[in-house]
Amino acid sequence: MTNVTEIKQKTKQIIKKHKSNKSALIAVLQDIQEAFNYLPKEALKTASNMMKVPMSRVYEAATFYTAFSLKPRGKHIVKICKGTACHVRGAAILQDRFETTLGIKPGETTKDGKFSLETVNCVGACALGPVVVINTDYHGQVTINKVDKIIKKINNEEGAQQ
C-alpha cells in the first residue's frame, strides 16, 4: 500500500514536470492515475494546492472524464469495447459473460483486487470485433466461450509467477 507521504511526493514530481501550469490539469491527472492506477484523494489535494486550482475544479475534472477512477482499480483491467461494430457482433452478451465470470459489474473490482471490469466506447480495432482489451493486450473476435479461458490463462500465469 502506498502511504500518504509517498503519494504526495510523487504527485509533486508529476506537477513539477508539467511546470505547475493550470492548463495541464488533465495531463497531471493522467500521470497521477498512471502512477497509482487511480486518483488518490491525497494526490488530488496536493494538485489543488500546488497548481492553485480549487478542489472543486479538480474534482469536477476527475469525475467528468471516464478514464479517471477515484477508487483503486484491480491489477488487471478488462475493458470491453462497446463500439457500434462490436455491439452488432455481440458485445452485450459478451459483457454479460464477463460479469458472471468475474462476479462484478462495470466500474467494479473483484474482492481480491485482481480484476477490474470496464467498458469503453470504441478502441478503434473495429475489424476484430467484438474486442476486449486486457491491460494492453487486444483480444479480437472474442466469443462467449473464450471468456473463461482468457481469465483462467491470466490466473495461471500469475500462479506461475508466484
Partner 1 sequence: MNENPDIQAHQLLDNLSLYYGPKKKFVAICAGTGCRASGSLKVKEALEAELKKQNMNEVDVLATGCLGFCEKGPMVIVHPDKYFYQHVKVEDVPEIVSKTVAKGEIISRLVYRHPETQKTLYREEDLPFYKKQNRIVFGQNGMLDPSKIEAYFNIDGYQALAKVLSEMTPEDVINEVKKAGLRGRGGGGFPAAVKWEGVRRAHGEPKYVIANGDEGDPGAYMDRSLMEGNPHSVIEGMIIGAYAVGSNQGYIYVRNEYPLAVTHLTIALEAARQNGLLGKNILGTNFSFDIHINKGAGAFVCGESSALFASIEGRAGEPRAKYVHAVEKGLYDKPTVLNNVETWANVPLIINKGADWYASIGTEGSKGTKIFSLVGKINNTGLIEVPMGTTLYEIIYDMGGGIPNGRKFKAVQTGGPSGGCIPERLLDIPVDFDKLYEVGSMMGSGGMIVMDETSCMVDVARYFLEFLKEESCGKCVPCREGIRRMSDILEDICSGRGREGDIEILESMGAAIADGSLCALGGSAPNPVLSTIRYFREEYEAHIKEHRCPAGVCKALITYGIDAEKCTGCGVCVKVCATQAITGEKKKAHVIDKDKCTRCGACIQSCKFDAIKVK
> What is the side-by-side strand order in the sheet with 115-120?
115-120, 76-81, 132-134, 137-139
Considering only 44, 102, 117, 123, the residue that binds partner 1 (CB under 8 A) is: 123
Tell whether residue 22 is a contact of partner 1 (CB under 8 A): yes
Considering only 6, 88, 152, 158, the residue that binds partner 1 (CB under 8 A) is: 88
Considering only 1, 19, 54, 64, the residue that binds partner 1 (CB under 8 A) is: 64
Q: Which range, of 7-15, 83-91, 107-115, 153-161, touches partner 1 by CB under 8 A?
A: 83-91
DSSP percent split of the chain into helix, strand, coil, nearest 5:
55, 10, 35
Q: Measured from the CB of residue 63, what is the shortest distance to partner 1 in angstroms?
A: 8
Burial class of residue 146 in the structure, from the number of CB atoms within 10 Å of its CB (0-12 exposed, 13-18 middle, 19+ buried): middle
- For residue 32, give every residue at least 6 positions away whose Cβ sits within 8 Å of its Cβ, in sequence order, or none: 10, 11, 14, 39, 40, 43, 44, 47
Q: What is the CA radius of gyration of the chain?
A: 18
Tell whether residue 61 is a contact of partner 1 (CB under 8 A): yes
Tell whether residue 25 is a contact of partner 1 (CB under 8 A): yes
Q: Which residues bind partner 1 (CB under 8 A)?
A: 21-27, 29-30, 53, 57, 60-61, 64-68, 82-90, 93, 96-97, 100, 120-129, 131, 136, 138-140, 143-145
